[in-house]
């Protein structure tokens, strides 16, 4: 058995050659300056004045026997005189000579007590001059070598760029199992056979079965696709390679393909293993798409990925799992059998799944025993696993801010409102603006209560929120109807009427001249619903025809230009039908509000005073004035409060 020892990365040392080169250059530049200063004529003249003798004084000292040694330098016309009794390290005295000095030379030769010597400094002077000139050239040579070295390093890095390794993470043990993944039971069951193959491949090989090489996880962001891939590797106990699709894409052609080869090379060395590619749509988009041509580097990377998955070489024991939320833009070659031939939908969890997810995220939080996670799950349809984790985290932050010991239902309700509508702002003063918003929101709430097929009211409030939301009315949606998409015509019409209740209330109470733009968001939703009833659901006089399809995101090269499948005459009829439907619902909303004006005034006064009215209290007050209709949704669906399309901006 081979033993592997983890290599400790060396601490990066400073670039010593570069530092030494800089110091050498600086020293060489300063050296000639110093030599020039020392050997300047002014400095030599001052020194000569201090240590000099006259020509006559030299003869006098020779006659008195005070001279020990004399050195004549006729090239410089200077005599260096060493006196008797002078210290050994003392500088000699200098005597300026004449052009011709025969008398001095004969006197020195005749005096046996004086050591006489003739020297020449011409050679040393030439050497010093050459050295000074050389010192100016060396810094230039050093600078040239420095820049040449830098250019060489840059060129070598450019040549080795294509050999850059893929930056992926390898985990021998993920530490995540299926027990840590909640709310997506269908996906877990579908991926259980992948775990079985990684554990016991002989069980499939015995009957000639071939496990899918690639599994594509499709779902909106935050549903747990990455966590599910880690759980598969954790259950099977195999190495887990993870990389993002954007890591393959580079501006240089060939880099992405080399990284794909490097990834699969490492995976083959550690087979059986699991390779997870997150956001594969970054590299797996359809080839040849795009105006003016596609990205050639991305296409080459995709080609290499296709070859590695199901090409000339088999990847035995390697299972590739990819995740995306845009399966419509993937290349068809990725989805054929032999590659990503199995797609697993990881959708937003249902009520039971949300309850399991809440239990997982609530295990490490201090929650008051009075809190019912079942109620929280009912109140959060459409929330993903990431949304639920963020919800409990926001509730914990509010609990700490309010200096409470445990999370209560109040903090959870406030966290839900904060995530759906925004931060709570300071309440408005009792003014005309506050009463106008109150009438608007009561108009929504009253119609939601009196219309038979509308979803019942959960609460109505006029506490402003960030983002320009002056208040909102919240309904209890029928989750089964929303998830299945089986909307009834009566539900759609009552929902449109309820959405127009705010504008109808403003018109009936304040008049046409005082109507505000607070219903702009309501009108957008109304127009969308009415148009779908006419063009998609066949709920108009135009008949049972689908004139439009569901709008998808634009994909360059395919859906850049939208095309209507009907004539201009039919478009005019569609617009007329949509307008007639909206006007009919608006007139119905105004009539209901007009007939219950006294009730509305009382509800507005109470809302201005309390700023929030719960749904049960609201229904009790309405029941004192008029009988409440029986709502079939309450018997079919669960009491799961959530926000409706009705919210008004101040």
8 vs 523, more confident: 523
pLDDT for 160 equals 47
Q: Say yes or no to pLDDT of 31 above 80.
A: no
pLDDT exceeds 50 at position 39 = no
Mean predicted confidence (pLDDT) in 535-563: 68
**Confidence tier at 10 by pLDDT (50, 70, 90):** very low
Residue 593: burial class (beta carbons within 10 Å; 0-12, 13-18, 19+): buried
CATH architecture of 21-125: 2-Layer Sandwich (3.30)
For the cut 60, the answer to whether the pLDDT of residue 69 exceeds it is yes
DSSP state of 406: S
What pLDDT shows up at residue 349? Answer: 86
Residue extents of the structural domains in the chain: 21-125, 169-345, 351-421, 432-554+564-649
284's tokens: 């797996």
Lowest mean pLDDT among 79-83, 92-96, 121-125, 254-258: 121-125
E strand map for 339-468: 342-345, 457-461
Question: CATH classification of 351-421 is 1.10.8.60, yes or no?
Answer: yes
pLDDT at position 560 is 46
Architecture per CATH, 169-345: 3-Layer(aba) Sandwich (3.40)
Q: What is the mean pLDDT of residues 461-484?
A: 78
Mean per-residue pLDDT, 331-340: 82
Residues 607-616 have a mean pLDDT of: 89
Give the highest mean pLDDT range of 107-111, 158-162, 555-559.
107-111
Bond prior to 272 in cis (omega within 30° of 0)? yes
Burial class (CB in 10 A: 0-12, 13-18, 19+), 424: middle
Spatial strand order of the sheet with 67-73 comes to 52-53, 93-96, 78-83, 67-73, 115-119
Contact at 8 Å (CB) between 79 and 94?
Answer: yes
For residue range 512-547, list pLDDT tens digits in order. Answer: 888 888 888 899 999 999 999 999 888 888 888 888
Q: Catalytic residue among 247, 250, 441, 479, which?
A: 441
- Please state the rounded mean pLDDT for residues 108-125: 70
Least confident of 89-93, 246-250, 560-564: 560-564
- Residue 643: enclosing H or E segment and its boundaries? strand 640-649
> Looking at residue 70, what is its pLDDT?
81
Task: Check if 441 is active-site.
Answer: yes
Question: Out of 53-67, 305-319, 533-547, which region has the weakest mean confidence (pLDDT)?
Answer: 305-319
- Distance, in Å, from the CA atom of 401 to the CA atom of 406, rounded to the nearest integer, reads 12
Residue 466 in contact with residue 485, Cβ under 8 Å? no
Residues 550-564 have a mean pLDDT of: 51
Least confident of 8-22, 172-186, 385-399: 8-22
pLDDT tens digits, 198-255: 777 778 778 887 777 788 888 888 888 888 888 888 887 888 887 777 777 665 556 7
Order of strands across the sheet with 640-649? 612-614, 457-461, 469-477, 640-649
CA end-to-end span of the chain: 72
Residue 1 above 50 pLDDT?
no
Rounded-to-integer distance, Cα 271 and Cα 610, Å: 66
With CA atoms as reference, report the closest residue to 643 among 465, 423, 381, 351: 381
Query: Which range is most confident: 160-169, 194-203, 571-580, 636-645?
Result: 571-580
Residue 629: what pLDDT? 83
- Collapsing DSSP to helix, strand or coil, 642 comes out as strand
User: Is residue 642 over pLDDT 80?
Assistant: no
The mean-pLDDT minimum among 21-25, 54-58, 256-260, 355-359 falls in: 21-25
Q: Could you tell me which residues are beta bridge partners of residue 242?
A: 169, 276
CA angle in degrees (0–180, nearest 5) for 103-108-113 = 155
Dist. CA 372–CA 359, nearest whole Å: 11
Q: If residue 605 lies in a helix (H) or strand (E), which one and from where to where?
A: helix 597-610
CB neighbour burial string for 308-345, b if at least 16 within 10 angstroms, e if fewer? bbbeeeebebbbbbbbbebbebbbebbbeeebbebbbe
Q: Give the single-character DSSP code of 330.
A: B
User: Mean of the per-residue pLDDT values for the chain?
Assistant: 76
What's the rounded mean pLDDT across residues 169-191? 75
Q: Specify the range with the lowest mean pLDDT, choosing from 23-37, 425-439, 524-538.
A: 23-37
Using an 8 Å Cβ cutoff, are 521 and 606 in contact?
no
Nearest to 284 by CA among 265, 308, 266: 308
Question: CATH topology for 432-554+564-649?
Answer: Methane Monooxygenase Hydroxylase; Chain G, domain 1 (1.20.58)
Q: Who wins on pLDDT, 300 or 437?
A: 437
């Amino acid at each position: 058995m081979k033993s592997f020892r983890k290599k400790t990365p060396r601490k990066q040392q400073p670039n010593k050659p570069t530092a030494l080169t800089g110091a050498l250059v600086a020293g060489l530049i300063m050296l000639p300056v110093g030599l020039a200063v020392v050997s300047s004529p002014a400095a030599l003249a001052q020194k000569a004045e201090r240590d000099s003798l006259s020509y006559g004084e030299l003869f006098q000292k020779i006659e008195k026997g005070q001279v020990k040694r004399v050195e004549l330098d006729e090239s410089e016309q200077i005599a260096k005189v060493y006196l008797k009794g002078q210290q050994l390290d003392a500088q000699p005295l200098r005597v300026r000579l004449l052009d011709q000095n025969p008398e001095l030379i004969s006197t020195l030769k005749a005096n046996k007590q004086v050591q006489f010597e003739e020297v020449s400094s011409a050679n040393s002077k030439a050497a010093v001059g050459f050295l000074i000139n050389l010192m100016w050239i060396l810094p230039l040579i050093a600078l040239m070598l420095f820049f040449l070295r830098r250019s060489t390093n840059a060129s070598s890095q450019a040549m080795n760029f294509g050999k850059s390794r893929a930056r992926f993470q390898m985990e021998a043990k993920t530490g995540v199992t299926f027990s840590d993944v909640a709310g997506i039971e269908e996906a877990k069951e579908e991926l259980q056979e992948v775990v079985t193959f990684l554990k016991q491949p002989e069980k499939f090989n015995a009957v000639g079965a071939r496990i899918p090489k690639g599994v594509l996880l499709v779902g909106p962001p935050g549903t747990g696709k990455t966590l599910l891939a880690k759980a598969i590797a954790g259950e099977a106990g195999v190495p887990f390679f993870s990389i993002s699709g954007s890591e393959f894409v580079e501006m240089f052609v060939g880099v992405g393909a080399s990284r794909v080869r490097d990834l699969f090379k490492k995976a083959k060395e550690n087979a059986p293993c699991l390779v997870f590619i997150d956001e594969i749509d970054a590299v797996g988009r359809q080839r040849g798409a795009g105006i003016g041509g596609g990205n050639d580097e991305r296409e080459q990377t995709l080609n290499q990925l296709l070859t590695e998955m199901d090409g000339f070489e088999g990847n035995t024991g390697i299972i590739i799992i990819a995740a995306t939320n845009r399966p419509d833009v993937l290349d068809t070659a990725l989805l054929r059998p032999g590659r990503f031939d199995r797609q697993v939908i990881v959708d937003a969890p249902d009520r039971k799944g949300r309850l399991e997810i809440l239990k997982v995220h609530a295990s490490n939080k201090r929650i008051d025993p009075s809190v019912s996670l079942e109620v929280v799950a009912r109140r959060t349809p459409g929330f993903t696993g990431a949304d639920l984790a963020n919800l409990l985290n926001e509730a914990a932050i509010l609990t700490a801010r309010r200096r409470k010991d445990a999370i209560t239902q109040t903090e959870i309700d406030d966290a839900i409102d904060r995530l759906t509508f925004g931060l709570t702002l300071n309440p408005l003063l009792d003014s005309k603006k506050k009463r106008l918003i109150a009438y608007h929101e009561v108009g929504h709430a009253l119609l939601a209560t009196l219309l038979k097929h509308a979803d019942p009211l959960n609460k109505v409030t006029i506490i402003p929120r960030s983002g320009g939301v002056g208040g909102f009315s919240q309904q209890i949606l029928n989750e089964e109807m929303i998830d299945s998409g089986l909307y009834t015509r009566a539900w759609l019409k009552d929902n449109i009427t309820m959405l127009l209740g705010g504008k109808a209330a403003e018109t009936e109470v304040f008049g046409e001249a005082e109507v505000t733009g607070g219903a702009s968001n309501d009108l957008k939703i109304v127009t969308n619903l009415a148009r779908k009833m006419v063009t998609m659901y066949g709920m108009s006089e135009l008949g049972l025809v689908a004139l439009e399809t569901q709008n998808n995101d634009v994909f360059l090269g395919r859906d850049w230009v939208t095309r209507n499948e009907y004539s201009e005459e039919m478009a005019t009829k569609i617009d007329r039908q949509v307008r007639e439907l909206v006007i009919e619902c608006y007139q119905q909303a105004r009539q209901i509000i007009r007939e219950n004006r006294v009730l509305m005034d009382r509800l507005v006064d109470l809302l201005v005073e309390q700023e929030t009215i719960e749904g049960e209290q609201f229904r009790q007050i309405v029941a004192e004035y008029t009988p409440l209709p029986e709502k079939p949704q309450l018997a079919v669906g669960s009491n799961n409060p959530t926000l409706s399309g009705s919210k008004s901006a101040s």
